[in-house]
């Protein structure tokens, strides 16, 4: 049965997020007006809050929808886009997490499953208030061991599941930590793929709420990227850009970004669950 997934996200990636949810067989709704979001969240099976391209109106709507989701006990994905470079966004995440904590008093019994998502810079900024990144990109100087330990501590502190997306995705609830290695470099060359992963997580969590579903969502999206990249026969010219590496003289074929995005959406809609389960590259890790 198709579930309604309420996505309050940014206009840059709104269409991609909606198409990703549709491709999974669920129904996206991108409502963000403060006067209607409570009603819509109440009818939904999962909520995505994405801080990209934030606005006053969207911030107000996110608070209203979060309270509705907590009341209805539906899963929540909080994508902390840009918190490493913006004090406004960092403080707003704190405000949302405070709303969640206050909704259950001092008991700490969080009945709505929550994922806090970000790249390594965003996750580090949520953990270390003194850290500041540049823009919304990941920090290449942060080592995977270091960020994995930060993810574990943040998850335990907030009683959430943390998803740190990147070349390798880290998923942890503070007790168990998984490394997911699916995906291709091309996925990082298209704006909005991180936002799409947040929407895919929300869709997966609408069926079942546990850390395994988050791991599976990451693996699924990475496999879709691999499938899209491999779907171009080497003897076809359409969709390829040929480049000559000046230092080596080697000819390298790359898929054009527009063509890759289309193939990525195709893959999301075509991949079977059995195939995905066989292809997921995930491992439980500890440091």
| Average pLDDT of the residues in 89-99 | 97
Q: Is the pLDDT of residue 238 over 60?
A: no
Distance CA 7, CA 47 (A): 6
Please tell me whether residue 256 adopts helix, strand or coil conformation: coil
Cβ within 8 Å of residue 199, ≥6 positions away: 5, 7, 9, 17, 18, 20, 21, 28, 48, 77
Torsion angle, alpha carbons of 189, 191, 192, 193, to 10:
0
Q: What's the whole-number mean pLDDT along residues 142-148?
A: 92
Give pLDDT, residue 255.
76
pLDDT per residue over 170-193, tens digit each?
999 999 999 999 999 999 989 999
> End-to-end CA distance of the chain, in Å?
40
Residue 287 has pLDDT above 80, yes or no: no
Q: Write out the two tokens for 132.
A: 């500041």
User: Which residue(s) pair with 252 in the sheet?
Assistant: 243
Structure tokens at 231: 């779907």
Q: Say if residue 108's pLDDT is above 60.
A: no
**Selection from 55, 52, 93, 28 nearest residue 194 by Cα:** 52
Taking the C-alpha atoms of residue 187 and residue 173, their distance in angstroms, rounded to an integer, is 26
Residue extents of the structural domains in the chain: 4-228+273-284
What value does the CA radius of gyration of the chain take, rounded to a whole number of Å? 19
Look at residue 241 in the predicted model and tell me its pLDDT: 45
Task: Compare 1 and 36 and report the one with higher pLDDT.
Answer: 36
Residue with tokens 């996750």: 123
pLDDT over threshold 80, residue 31 = yes
Read off the pLDDT band of 247 (50, 70, 90): very low
4-228+273-284: what CATH class? alpha beta
Please count the other Cβ atoms lying within 10 Å of the Cβ belonging to residue 29: 17
Q: What is the pLDDT of residues 221-234, one digit of tens each?
A: 999 999 999 876 55
Using CB atoms within 10 A of its CB, is residue 130 exposed (0-12), middle (13-18) or buried (19+)? exposed
Q: How confident is the model at residue 253 (pLDDT cuts 50, 70, 90)?
A: low
């Amino acid at each position: 049965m198709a579930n309604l997934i309420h996505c309050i996200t940014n206009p840059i990636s709104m269409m991609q997020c909606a198409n990703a949810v549709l491709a999974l067989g669920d129904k996206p709704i991108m409502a963000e007006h403060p006067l209607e979001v409570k009603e819509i969240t109440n009818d939904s099976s999962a909520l995505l809050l994405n801080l990209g391209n934030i606005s006053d109106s969207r911030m107000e709507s996110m608070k209203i929808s979060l309270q509705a989701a907590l009341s209805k006990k539906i899963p929540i994905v909080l994508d902390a886009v840009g918190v490493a470079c913006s004090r406004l966004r960092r403080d707003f995440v704190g405000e949302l997490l405070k709303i969640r904590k206050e909704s259950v008093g001092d008991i700490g019994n969080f009945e709505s499953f929550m994922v806090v998502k970000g790249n390594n810079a965003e996750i580090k900024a949520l953990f270390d208030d003194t850290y500041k990144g540049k823009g919304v990109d990941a920090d290449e100087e942060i080592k995977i061991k270091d960020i994995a330990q930060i993810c574990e501590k943040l998850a335990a502190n907030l009683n959430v599941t943390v998803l740190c997306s990147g070349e390798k995705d880290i998923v942890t609830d503070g007790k168990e930590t998984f490394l997911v290695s699916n995906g291709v470099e091309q996925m990082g060359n298209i704006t909005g793929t991180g936002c799409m992963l947040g929407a895919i997580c929300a869709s997966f969590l609408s069926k079942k709420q546990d850390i395994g579903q988050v791991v599976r969502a990451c693996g699924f999206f990475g496999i879709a990227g691999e499938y899209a990249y491999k779907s171009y026969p080497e003897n076809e010219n359409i969709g390829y850009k040929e480049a000559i590496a000046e230092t080596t003289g080697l000819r390298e074929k790359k898929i054009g970004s527009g063509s890759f995005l289309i193939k990525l959406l195709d893959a999301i809609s075509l991949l079977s669950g059995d195939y995905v389960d066989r292809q997921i590259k995930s491992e439980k890790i500890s440091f």
